[in-house]
Structure 1
């Protein structure tokens, strides 16, 4: 009988892929992957599908997961957001638990990509608290300690991003510092760099540009990481320099980032850099012009970004709100009206309080101008819908 591990080994040999190379593609922990190859662990269906995709072998592994056999052996149950399910027989958590944390992180990212951070944030904080509690209590098998620390740091980073998008900035700052501490303790340099870019991003958002420059200086000017990670630090530095009024250096940094991304993803790049695209740099360049007071220069860049990301509702909604803000600043009502109409139709569909707050400020600005009656009417409707949407959102104590 062909087992999951035997088929996985066959596929890896056939494709000429080793454990570490495959673990980077999935991504997952190499130690956990080794256990799967030896049939010492039973993977979830989600993990089997990711391995199939990485090995270009659709349909080869999922049928062999045999979840019932795991239950017969008494292994700890894992579900998508249930990393705090009670351990069977009270055993310390193991490598499968670590993998469940990583799968939860990826599921949270997928949900955020579609729905925004508001509704997903409580799930992320819950998952982080549970994993952190296991780590703090020592309720884990000693060989997995480093992997558990790393996975907990990773899910903390996801929670910090979601808090940022939900405009819970104090929560985001608290969690990202915990994430950084964990990733450093695990020796996870890739995740540590990601967390530093988050901190720089938040510093820019809170208009603390000198802080953002300090956060990026050591990486950009000193020991350089992989090209795409360096590009992201250049993006953060460019935005900060624009806030400081240093146009030349700001646009130089953003130009370097855009040139770097033209080379595509290389083997040296971290797996989390997949989302750093040319459109992302274009958007930040538009925002840099806005921060320099050059709203007219920002408009075409923000419009192009929104067009490029038309297939992604959440991203396009955010892009359109920033474009609308720029159009209102230059009083281009003819262009603003259709953008405002599209935004109005999506209020409440994307749960990003950060974007909703900008939209509220923008329609408030419209109300103080001599905008045409058609624009003013749509703006009033947006304001009404925003009020309804925000009034429905409870503000629970998250931490």
Structure 2
């Protein structure tokens, strides 16, 4: 459990509001709010004060991440463990998006982006590439979050920056993901030629995670479906074979959505573009039925639910 989640749990159990707690500590309510959302790390001193006020018997002190707090104040304290901590926080935010919305988590992602950008600027040369890679991922995720809100210009700007940073960090996984998200954004706007070029670039590096390669193959099939049906069918078959070869044990907190049920929905979109509308609806219904409950009703699955209802 994160520091913020534990503090909120204790506040609810003790019947203490955030503003009342801020007065008792004392601390600025805005700062406390960011700590409770795990956007801002708690210092050891703040953890002790909150622990006392909430009668936590040391539970909050045990959860404080002093290295992350120090790194936030002094970028020269950044080390791989600090970056791993932010990566874990980002993974938790992705899970939160599954049960909420892009608008809910975007402010948190912006805070992370600001913090890690500072880390990358001030970090030692030996740590900087890893920090830049994480900045790339945060740009990439922030860009993705703008898509459901149809903020196309913001999405494109963030994804372009994510691609450049991914290349600077020499990180094929993050670079390929940024390119594929940029292709998706272009496709959603009907910019087929741009989407095709970005998708082709995303397919060039075969060293990335098998789930990402599968996603990019499906994406290329959907983009080609309107202009080159033979190529689209070939890619669709290739992507389906790739799904069957995926190993569930290889999925991580950064690739957890690359499951057969997720890809069945992607398969349905390609079939629809190829004119197989009824079959596409059958496949989409199968996909939604097999998604975990929190995914089935998530905002990112709204396009899939709408497809089935149309």
Same fold (TM over 0.5): yes
Confirm or deny that 1:196 pairs with 2:188. no
Distance in 1 of aligned mates of 2:206 and 2:75: 43
Confirm or deny that 1:296 pairs with 2:281. no
1:258 paired residue among 227, 240, 260? 240
Confirm or deny that 1:160 pairs with 2:143. yes
What CA deviation, in whole Å up to 9, does each residue of 1:1-31 have, x standing for no partner?
xxxxxxxxxxxxxxxxxxxxxxxxxxxxxxx
Structure 1 residues not aligned, in runs of 5+: 1-62, 326-399
CA contact (8 A) 2:136 2:165 kept: yes
Confirm or deny that 1:124 pairs with 2:115. no
Distance in 1 of aligned mates of 2:301 and 2:252: 25
How far 1:129 sits from its partner (Å)?
Answer: 2.7
The 1:66–1:143 alpha-carbon spacing in structure 2 relative to 1, beyond 3 Å, is farther
Distance in 2 of aligned mates of 1:130 and 1:76: 10
| Secondary structure of 2:127 counterpart | helix
How far 1:273 sits from its partner (Å)?
Answer: 3.6
Distance in 1 of aligned mates of 2:248 and 2:261: 19
Confirm or deny that 1:283 pairs with 2:262. no
TM-score calculated relative to the size of structure 1:
0.55
1:14-163 alignment to 2 at 5 Å? 66=62, 75-77=67-69, 85=72, 87=73, 90=74, 92-95=76-79, 96-135=81-120, 138-163=121-146
Equivalence for 1:230: 213
CA contact (8 A) 1:258 1:278 kept: no
How far 1:248 sits from its partner (Å)?
Answer: 2.7
Count of residues paired in the alignment: 247
Equivalence for 1:60: none
CA contact (8 A) 2:106 2:145 kept: yes
Distance in 2 of aligned mates of 1:66 and 1:229: 37
The alignment yields a C-alpha RMSD, in angstroms, of 3.0
The 1:300–1:91 alpha-carbon spacing in structure 2 relative to 1, beyond 3 Å, is closer
The 1:67–1:223 alpha-carbon spacing in structure 2 relative to 1, beyond 3 Å, is closer
CA contact (8 A) 2:224 2:231 kept: yes
The 1:231–1:185 alpha-carbon spacing in structure 2 relative to 1, beyond 3 Å, is same
Equivalence for 1:333: none
The 1:145–1:187 alpha-carbon spacing in structure 2 relative to 1, beyond 3 Å, is same
CA contact (8 A) 2:251 2:258 kept: no
The 1:198–1:122 alpha-carbon spacing in structure 2 relative to 1, beyond 3 Å, is same
How far 1:278 sits from its partner (Å)?
Answer: 2.3
CA contact (8 A) 2:243 2:260 kept: yes
TM-score calculated relative to the size of structure 2:
0.69
Equivalence for 1:391: none
CA contact (8 A) 1:105 1:158 kept: no
The 1:223–1:101 alpha-carbon spacing in structure 2 relative to 1, beyond 3 Å, is closer
Equivalence for 1:206: 189
Higher-Rg structure is: 1
Distance in 2 of aligned mates of 1:268 and 1:107: 19
How far 1:316 sits from its partner (Å)?
Answer: 5.5
How far 1:97 sits from its partner (Å)?
Answer: 3.6
What CA deviation, in whole Å up to 9, does each residue of 1:222-265 have, x standing for no partner?
553354332222111011012x2432322221221111111122
CA contact (8 A) 2:136 2:166 kept: yes
CA contact (8 A) 2:179 2:198 kept: yes
What CA deviation, in whole Å up to 9, does each residue of 1:291-312 have, x standing for no partner?
3444333221222222122623
